[in-house]
């Protein structure tokens, strides 16, 4: 029997049963690598856990401190408000940049060029010190009478400076993300919608943007996580965010590293939660890839949507 099997293998006729029973070689090198990496990680964890300089009891004591929690609320509030405004303005900028209107596309290009080309920290400081350039903000008819006037310092508080700086900077990046998502949709989709009599705005809302979401969601999630961390920059303009709150504590207690660890752990916790929900949203918009769609199915879907909208 053994001779027959050997002869069959020598002749190149390997039985399927023999292939199924074949076992891959034991991955000795990979197992050794895993053991080495696990040992390094365990040793590092031991050092961090038992190093008294980290001040873990102090971290635990201040983790839910009211000052820290209030700063956390400010950070989350700034993130939500800045992202909502940034996405809304970014959508308008993306549509304007893709339009055939030279005035709109030029304005959009200049806006994106300026706010992407200057550091966010510089923008925040600029808005916070706007009163040095314009002591008063006025609403007037060009070359005509002034309708309303306000003191700049009354309008540009640390809160408003932070919101304006973060939102406008985010709008520039979101405009490019949304534009890339819109360009990822086949042009035949908009042509089919136009053939059914849909306006451009309605086609964007009902057909183009829903399909572009699959390309827009992942980088938008990354921008949201980046925004959480970018809010720490507002501490330089005396905005009582999470970082500013822990700074105010360690300026009093001189426990610098433990308080910074409090901020680090909160940032890690928030970004981990956001990453989890980002994955859920991405799976929602990618659920169409699990089937075996043909090339004609997207057009058929547009036809159905367009017919329903045209009624």
Q: Are 227 and 83 in contact (CB under 8 A)?
A: yes
Token pair, residue 72, equals: 């956390």
**pLDDT confidence of residue 285:** 74
Can you say whether residue 40 is alpha, beta or left, with left for phi > 0 and alpha for psi between -120 and 50 degrees?
alpha
Q: Which of 275, 267, 274, 273 is nearest to 63 (CA)?
A: 267
Q: How far apart are CA 177 and CA 166, in angstroms?
A: 16
Domain ranges of the chain: 56-285+295-310
Query: DSSP code of 151?
Result: E
**pLDDT confidence of residue 18:** 57
Q: How far apart are CA 151 and CA 138, in angstroms?
A: 9
Distance of CA 252 to the CA centre of its chain: 35
Query: CB within 8 A of 191, min separation 6: which ones?
Result: none
**pLDDT confidence of residue 34:** 93
Token pair, residue 181, equals: 């998502």
The greatest distance separating any two alpha carbons of the chain, rounded to the nearest whole angstrom, comes to 107
Q: How far apart are CA 26 and CA 15, in angstroms?
A: 23
The CATH number of domain 56-285+295-310, selected from 3.40.190.10, 1.10.3720.10, 3.20.20.80, 1.10.630.10: 1.10.3720.10
Q: Are 213 and 284 in contact (CB under 8 A)?
A: no
Residue stretches of the chain with pLDDT short of 50? 1-2, 5, 11, 291-303, 305-311
CA distances, 237 to each of 100, 193, 228 (Å): 40, 49, 17
Q: Which of 85, 86, 84, 106 is nearest to 97 (CA)?
A: 106
């Amino acid at each position: 029997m053994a001779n027959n099997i050997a002869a069959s293998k020598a002749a190149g006729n390997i039985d399927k049963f023999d292939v199924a029973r074949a076992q891959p070689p034991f991955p000795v090198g990979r197992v050794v690598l895993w053991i080495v990496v696990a040992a390094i990680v365990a040793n590092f964890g031991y050092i961090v856990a038992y190093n008294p300089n980290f001040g873990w009891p102090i971290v635990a004591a201040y983790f839910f401190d009211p000052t820290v929690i209030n700063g956390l609320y400010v950070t989350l509030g700034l993130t939500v408000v800045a992202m909502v405004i940034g996405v809304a303005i970014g959508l308008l900028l993306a549509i304007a940049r893709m339009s055939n209107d030279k005035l709109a596309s030029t304005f959009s290009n200049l806006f994106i060029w300026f706010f992407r080309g200057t550091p966010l920290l510089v923008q925040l400081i600029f808005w916070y010190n706007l009163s040095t350039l314009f002591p008063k903000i006025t609403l007037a008819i060009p070359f005509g009478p002034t309708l309303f006037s306000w003191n700049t310092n009354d309008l540009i508080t640390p809160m408003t400076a932070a919101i304006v700086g973060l939102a406008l900077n985010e709008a520039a990046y979101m405009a490019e993300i949304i534009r890339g998502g819109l360009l990822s949709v086949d042009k035949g989709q908009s042509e089919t919608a136009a053939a059914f009599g849909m306006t451009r705005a309605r086609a964007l809302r009902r057909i183009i943007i829903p399909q572009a979401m699959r390309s827009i969601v992942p980088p938008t999630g990354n921008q949201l996580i980046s925004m959480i961390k970018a809010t720490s920059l507002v501490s330089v303009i005396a905005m009582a965010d999470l970082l500013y709150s822990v700074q105010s504590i360690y300026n009093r207690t001189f426990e610098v590293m433990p308080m910074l660890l409090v901020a680090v752990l909160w940032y890690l916790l928030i970004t981990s939660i956001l990453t989890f929900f980002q994955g859920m949203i991405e799976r929602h918009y990618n659920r169409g890839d699990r089937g075996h769609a043909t090339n004609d199915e997207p057009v058929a879907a547009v036809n159905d949507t367009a017919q329903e909208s045209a009624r």
